[in-house]
Every structure is written in C-alpha cells, then in structure tokens.
Amino acid sequence: MDPALFFHRFQFGFTISYHYLFPQFTMGMALLIVILKTQALRTGNDRYEKSARFWAKIFGLAFAMGVVTGIPMEFQFGTNWARFSEATGGVIGQTLAMEGVFAFFLESSFLGLFLFGHKKLSPRMHWFSAFAVFAGSWISGFFIVATNAFMQHPVGYEIQGDGTLALNSLWSLLLNPWLFWQYLHTMIGAVVTGAFVMASIGAYYLLLGRGQDATEEARGHAEYGKIFLRLGVLVGLPASILVAFPTGDMQAVNVAEHQPAAFASMEGLFETQEGAALVLIGQPDMEKMRLDNPLEIPRVLSFLTYRRWGAEIVGLEDIPQDQWPDNVPLHYYAYHIMVGLGTLFIAAMALAGWLLWRRKLYESRAMLWILMMAAPFPFIANTMGWMTTELGRQPWLVYGILRTEDGYSATVSAGNTIFSLLGFMGLYLLLGVLFLFLVAREIGHGPAFNEEK
C-alpha cells in the first residue's frame, strides 16, 4: 500500500473510532435522560429529576468530547479524502449539509438550555430542551448513517462525463434500502451502550451502599442506584435483543446479498459451501486459505442467511482477490467479537431482567458485580461493529464505484499526514485522561450529593 494512503486511512480510522466512543454513549443516554425527565414530570418524584441532573453532568462532558472530536470528521473529508469529496460531493453533500442544518443547530441551541436552564425554564420547557437534544442527536445519526449507507450501497446517483457522481433522486438517497436496518442497528447499539453504563453505575452505588458499615452518604446514593439499575435493565434488555434480532440479522442479510466478498470475509468462509456452518471461534490462515482451530455449528449460517438449511454460500476462493476486503483476518475478528459480545449482553440482561422481575436484583451480589464490570464492553462491541462495516467495504470507498486508493488527497504527502496523526493521538490521549478524571469525580460525588445543595 502507498504509505500516504496507509496514513490517511490510519488517521481517519483512529479519529473516527475515538470520536464514536462519545456519540454512541450520548445518543443512548439522551433517550434514557428523556425517560427520566418524563418520569419526573409524570410522578412529581424528585428522585427522577435529581437522577436526570446527575446524568446530565456526565452527558455534558461526553457531549463536549463528541462535539470536539466530531468537527475534524467533517473537515477530513476534504483534507484527507479530497478526490473522494470531489467525486461524491454531488451526492453526499446533501446528507452532510442536512446534518448541519437539521441536527447540529438543534442540538447546540438546546444543549445549553438543557444543561444550565433548569432553574430559569419551566419544567415542561426543560423537558422539551432535553427532548430537543435527544431528537437532534438521533437526527444527526440518521444523516451520517445515510451518508455511510450510500458508500455501502450507492443508490439515486448517475456517473457524469468527468467521472464524478451526481444525485438524481434525493428520495432514493434518503430511503436507501440499506439505510433502514443500518440506522436502527446503529441507534439500538447506542441504546445498549447507554443502558449498560447506567446499569453499571447503578450497580456500583448499590454495592457501595450494602452492608453494616456503609456510610449514610453511600446509602443515599444506593437509593438512586436502584433507579439507574432498574431503568438500565428495563431498556437494556429489549435493546440487547433488538440489536441482534431483527436489526443485526437483517443487516447481515443485506451484506450477504449486496457485498458477498465482505460476507464471506466476516464469516471466515473460504470455500463455497452448501449448508455452511456458523463459525464461533477460529483463526483465519490466509496462506492456507482455511480457518485454524474452528469451533462451528453445522448448517446454521446458511439458515440464518437464506432461511434454508442447505443454501449455498459463496466462499472467498470463488471471488476474485481484488474484490476481497484488504484485511480479512481483522474484519473477521471484528465481526466475531461484536457478535460474541452481543450474545453475552442478551444473556446478562436476560438474567438481570429475570432477577428484577423476581425482586431479587438489588440484593444479588453476583449480578451486581457482573453488571458493574460490563460497562466497557458495549463500547468495544459498537466499535467492532463499525470496523466490520468499514473494513468490509474495502477495497471500495463507494462500493463498486470508487476504490479507496483513488479517493485520498494526492497532494498531501505521507509526512504531512504522520504529523497530523501524531498531533491527534497526543491531543486525544490528553483529552481522554482529563475526561475520565472528570467523569470519575462526578461519579464520586454521586447523585445524592446534589440533594444537599
């Protein structure tokens, strides 16, 4: 690979992966905060209002991180992927500009009112500002996934004489069949992250507030812990299921239909087979073109993909190598880590849901520990999901139309890109440390701390 191309890809991959740690949390948490605010309005119970305020502080920090790491994303389309922007601006200019007009202004206008306006605004107006932030972030998600869906499965365009793309139907672009399942899958994935984090912090406060020697303050936090845990599980259980069925399942069916090379690569399928097995574990060996140490369930992959046990699935060996994703093992691992974690999420949330129903959750030490420790894993699963999508699209920027090697900025040399990459790495490391420090402080203060003020 051309070193310039390598570093352009490295920088975009690094900055987008880091960026998405924050929106996935804030988009999920925005929904949970709206639920808390709605409960506060409906019941008049002050604990819900205080809970919302506690989460708003952490939300505000994460939102700021999302905004500042998001600005470079729009700019990098031009700085690092100039030939891509030139070729596709006639199409994706629509969705990128729509995101600004319909989402960013809404979010930024109401975020300040939501974070600092609860004394000045009426309860209803404050509820509305929370809702506007939630709506803005979900609309933003829609337009950015719509942009990605076009790159995965281009529709509504024509190729002009000079090789650039022109939109010919805005509705096709916005109603891209790929977009529907991808959007739902992405957003529900974000809800999983929000719900697990809320449940995790709830479990943490409950564990701290247990036993004879717990302080008065810790007992106070534990009362909020119950609210967090309950809401986290009530939202986390359906979200964990929905992210797999039907959204994840349908997303995989779309990949199988439209991107057969990506499908074979992510499933680790080298030979074309009838009644293909679902691989649980195994290491792709690209030299021998096989999976080492496989652990498989026979015929299940064929059934999941085509709803027939004996259906034929094309393996990599029958696809020309210049169509393969350029890093099959990484693609395969990303997908399998996502699916593996997703399965564990369903199991953990189902168990927690059952305990909640039997009114044993708040006392179940083992379950509280599991939920408390689970918080980082949805972030990993969401990141792996996007890696599956983006590595699977390779070697294309726009599937079947524009190859990645033809899309980067030819005038920006590898040396300049390494300079900016190192700058981003250093800056983001610093930001990450400060962010974790401030979030840990807020968690240390706890929700009951607000009560005294």
Partner 1 sequence: METLWFYLVAVVVAVYVVLDGFDLGAGTLHLFVARNDSERRTVLQSIGPVWDGNEVWLLATGGALILAFPRLFASAFSGFYLPIMIMLWLLILRAIAIEFRSHLKSPIWRPIWDVVFSLSSLLLAVVLGVALGNVVRGVPLGGDGYFFTPLWTSFRTSSIELGVLDWYTLTVGVTSLLALTYHGATWVILKTEGQIRDRAKRAAALTWPLLLLFVVLVTVFTFSIQPQVPRQMNANPLSYAFPLAALGGIFASQRFTAKGRELPAFLGSAVFLVGMLLSVVFGLYPMVLPAAGDPAASLTIYNASGPAYSLRVALFWWVPGMILVTAYTSFVYRQMAGKVRLDEEGY
Which residues of this protein are in contact with partner 1, per CB under 8 A? 60-61, 64, 67-69, 71-72, 74-75, 77-80, 82-83, 85-86, 88-94, 96-102, 104-106, 108-113, 115-117, 119-120, 160, 164, 166-168, 170, 409-413, 416, 419-420, 423, 427, 431, 434, 438, 441
- Residue (98 or 301) nearer to partner 1, CB: 98
- Residue (244 or 425) nearer to partner 1, CB: 425
**In the complex, minimum distance from the CB of residue 397 to partner 1, in angstroms, rounded to a whole number:** 13
**In the complex, minimum distance from the CB of residue 172 to partner 1, in angstroms, rounded to a whole number:** 12
- Residue (168 or 215) nearer to partner 1, CB: 168
SS3 content of the chain, % helix, strand, coil (to 5): 75, 5, 20
**In the complex, minimum distance from the CB of residue 86 to partner 1, in angstroms, rounded to a whole number:** 4
Bond preceding residue 260 cis, omega within 30 of 0: no
Q: Is residue 274 within a helix (H) or strand (E), and if so which, with residue range?
A: strand 273-274
**In the complex, minimum distance from the CB of residue 339 to partner 1, in angstroms, rounded to a whole number:** 34
- Residue (113 or 241) nearer to partner 1, CB: 113
> DSSP of 78-91, one letter per residue?
HHT-HHHHHHHHHH
CB 207 within 8 A of CB 372: yes
- Residue (64 or 304) nearer to partner 1, CB: 64
Distances (CA, A) of 113 to 108, 138, 195, 218, 266: 9, 18, 24, 31, 44
**In the complex, minimum distance from the CB of residue 121 to partner 1, in angstroms, rounded to a whole number:** 8
φ, ψ at 74 (rounded to 5°): -60, -40
Angle between helices 365-374 and 177-208 (to 10 degrees): 130
Q: Is 259 helix (H, G, I), strand (E, B) or coil?
A: coil
In angstroms, the CA 264 to CA 324 distance is 9
- Residue (135 or 301) nearer to partner 1, CB: 135
**In the complex, minimum distance from the CB of residue 418 to partner 1, in angstroms, rounded to a whole number:** 12
Distances (CA, A) of 44 to 16, 122, 228, 237: 41, 14, 17, 26
- Residue (20 or 104) nearer to partner 1, CB: 104
> DSSP of 102-117, one letter per residue?
IIIHHHHHHHHHHHH-
- Residue (35 or 68) nearer to partner 1, CB: 68
**In the complex, minimum distance from the CB of residue 355 to partner 1, in angstroms, rounded to a whole number:** 36
In angstroms, the CA 222 to CA 73 distance is 40
**In the complex, minimum distance from the CB of residue 221 to partner 1, in angstroms, rounded to a whole number:** 19
Alpha helices in 99-176 (DSSP H): 105-116, 123-152, 170-174
**In the complex, minimum distance from the CB of residue 240 to partner 1, in angstroms, rounded to a whole number:** 32
φ, ψ at 292 (rounded to 5°): -85, 150
- Residue (134 or 332) nearer to partner 1, CB: 134
